[in-house]
Amino acid sequence: MSGFFKRLRETARLMVGQPPYEVYLAHMVKHHPGTPPLDRVAFFRNRENARFSGAGGGKCC
């Protein structure tokens, strides 16, 4: 996939509240080293639930 389309996909995800999974993994390693991260599917479900539940964004930190 070309760089343009990767950036377009990233932009679209951020516009609908879907941060990159890789950023989440890096965050987990840095801030929660003893906690196993969610797998990709669980991560995106979690983000969707946080977005639509009115839970204030669902941020951990």
Query: Residue 47: is its pLDDT beyond 80?
Result: yes
Residue 58, pLDDT score = 56
Percent of the chain beyond pLDDT 90? 34
Residue 57, pLDDT score = 55
Compute the average pLDDT of residues 13-41: 88
Q: Is 19 exposed, middle or buried (0-12, 13-18, 19+ CB in 10 A)?
A: middle
What's the pLDDT tens digit per position in 28-39?
A: 999 999 999 999
Query: Residue 18: is its pLDDT beyond 80?
Result: no
Cα gap 41→19, rounded to integer Å: 13
